[in-house]
Structure 1
């Protein structure tokens, strides 16, 4: 494991750059950041709220799912832990950033027609539109459930595609663009939606009302978080809980799991709140690039920052082998 950068405030949504650097969001920092090839950080845009996912659109701008922000708890070691957002926190939004100037604007805000709470992750299709998940939000004893949306980059269209869903998180497309995958964090189900046209779910492909079928699920004590689809169509999901990368076959079934050596690093991927702590981006050489959130105190008295020394780090991990 090679640690690439440290001191980041809950990094998410890494976008690999040609020079070997990364662009990512810092959820608790409220900003879009650039990491140079040496890991040095610079701020591209102070977005406010809780930028949660990012992707480069067909126009070269950076599209950001902003969840509106979390509350925070300061830990004894000075680290920050995300907690439920205060009740007066406004809903999140979809923002667009000019990478050259850092200027940004809100492309879509929550409305009565599209009442999203916490935009989480997004993926662009070949037509230039994008799918995004709304994770929802806890508000005291009530849970505002989330949904799946489809939108256009020019601001002309946004619509509810499926929902309500409980904690939809990572979202990705198959290599041919005809199947959409959505990870449900709390249920630990990976959903499959067949598409009949850009932005259109084929509801005849499944007996479920919204057209989904279940590809597979995580095991006991595991959850599902961000995902990425590799060139073979396998769906690679980050799994908070026991800590793992779960690799689901596109035809469905039991996922493979990164080999047992990862058990020693399980604290990296714990999140007591179900918040994202790792985003996998499969690379062409067989490695997996990930951003890891700064969860310091996890479980069984283990501390990420002292045990592994990667508090708030972005790491590149090259597994030797995956084992069932």
Structure 2
């Protein structure tokens, strides 16, 4: 595995990396605000000012789904709310299933104010707009991913420093962070689960059975999330976007097919 390289630097906590078909990368600056597109020719602003973004997803119609204080749809400079569940403080990470459904982690506390995380939900929005609760006992739901065959959902619980596994109606602890917390995650084609370790300053790969396979140190940085591009991984951190080759490709990321109008749920 090659050493990490810095792709670009920024002032805030970078989050939500999303690789585009043309090889460019979208990411958010969750503290300073905004969504950006990085390519070899430079960095472009796509969404201005919006803060607290923990997840981005491409929509099949060409727009973008953006988390934060709510789940929103962004296109052509306009941003409209899709989902804002009652009693919540925001939507954190999001991920798209093979059928175009969207999974979203709900926040019920204010991390920036140091509030403790109460149990919260992982919700699914189906292509027909139906909203269902997948789990309601997650302690600060964060990164979300799917096994190569699509039958298993992995969800990071940041406040518990662990990853949960959901197989249909059953759930279990899949893995625990070797250090730091479990933040964003991505799954490779061999079934390995790669997890950003937050204050642990690195990323960890867990084998399909949940055993710790390796830890990649990243120079003491706060590491928030990661996304595959071929056999490389883009890693978002506090202050920089990194890239490293890991020798295995990631599970393909689908485009969302959910309605883009306001959904009650």
What's the TM-score, normalizing by structure 2?
Answer: 0.82
Cα distance, 1:140–1:44 mapped onto 2, change above 3 Å: closer
Structure 1 residue 95 displacement after superposition = 0.7
Q: In structure 1, what is the equivalent of residue 144 of structure 2?
A: 171
User: How do 1:16-35 and structure 2 match up within 5 A?
Assistant: 16-35=19-38
Q: In structure 2, what is the equivalent of residue 106 of structure 1?
A: 81
Structure 1 residue 144 displacement after superposition = 3.9
In the alignment, structure 2 segments of 5+ residues that lack a partner are 249-265
RMSD: 2.3
Question: 178-187 or 127-136, which moves further after superposition?
Answer: 127-136
Q: In structure 2, what is the equivalent of residue 268 of structure 1?
A: 221
8 Å CA contact 2:10, 2:240 repeated in 1: yes
**Larger relative contact order, structure 1 or 2 (CA cutoff 8 Å, min sep 6):** 2
Q: Find the aligned partners of 1:213 and 1:64 in 2 and give their Cα distance.
A: 29
Structure holding more strand per residue: 2
Q: Find the aligned partners of 1:143 and 1:131 in 2 and give their Cα distance.
A: 19
What's the TM-score, normalizing by structure 1?
Answer: 0.68
8 Å CA contact 1:247, 1:255 repeated in 2: yes
8 Å CA contact 2:36, 2:47 repeated in 1: yes
Q: Find the aligned partners of 2:165 and 2:10 in 1 and give their Cα distance.
A: 36
In the alignment, structure 1 segments of 5+ residues that lack a partner are 67-91, 195-201, 204-210, 270-276, 294-311
8 Å CA contact 1:20, 1:37 repeated in 2: no
1:125 pairs with 2:83: no
Q: In structure 1, what is the equivalent of residue 61 of structure 2?
A: 59
Q: Find the aligned partners of 2:5 and 2:81 in 1 and give their Cα distance.
A: 36
Structure label with greater radius of gyration? 1
Q: In structure 1, what is the equivalent of residue 242 of structure 2?
A: 315
Q: In structure 2, what is the equivalent of residue 289 of structure 1?
A: 234
Q: Find the aligned partners of 2:146 and 2:188 in 1 and give their Cα distance.
A: 10
User: How do 1:157-168 and structure 2 match up within 5 A?
Assistant: 157-168=130-141
Aligned residues: 243
The one of 168, 171, 183 aligned to 1:212: 171
Structure 1 residue 104 displacement after superposition = 1.7
